Amino acid sequence: MCGPSAMADADRLCGTPIAPEKSRKIVVVGPCAAGKSTLVSALRELGYDAHVSGQEHSEIATLWEHSQPDVLIALEVEIRAVRGRRGGSWPEWLHDVQVQRLAAALRAANLVIDTTGLSPQSVVDRVVAYLQRPEER
């Protein structure tokens, strides 16, 4: 189970030691509008091997495992933020289904970040800080 983060109370760190910093395969999961694509694009620009898993669209609970990540990052987001990012009519039931589909990935994640009140750059900064932690190299 995830433990408290030294970076922010909203972040949760979990997992076992992982491969050297930029050679690790990073997979990002989360519901729609959590910031997965934005985070992956930024990490790639920084030289990381980062990928999005469409776990939220699959009933296969461990779809993300097919990517064989060294680091699994799970993003969370509240429905109010999704509606702000995607439009006020985004259905709550769909968000709830996606959150359910992500349950196993959240439990397995090395890092969990709630992006609800965070800027995209703040999310990137938190992830890079995690990846650069000496105990995670």
Q: Give me the CATH number covering residue 51.
A: 3.40.50.300
- Residue 134: which pLDDT band, with cuts at 50, 70 and 90? confident
Taking the C-alpha atoms of residue 19 and residue 31, their distance in angstroms, rounded to an integer, is 26
Range of the domain at 27: 3-136
What's the confidence (pLDDT) of residue 11? 52
Mean pLDDT for the stretch of residues 130-135: 86
Specify the amino acid at residue 63. Answer: L
Say which amino acid occupies 77.
V
Could you give the angle at the alpha carbon of 73 between the alpha carbons of 59 and 23, nearest 5°? Answer: 120
Domain count, the chain: 1
| Identity at 46, one-letter amino acid code | L
How far apart, in Å, are the Cα atoms of 69 and each of 7, 48, 65, 101?
22, 12, 7, 18
Residues in the chain: 137
Q: What is the pLDDT of residue 54?
A: 85
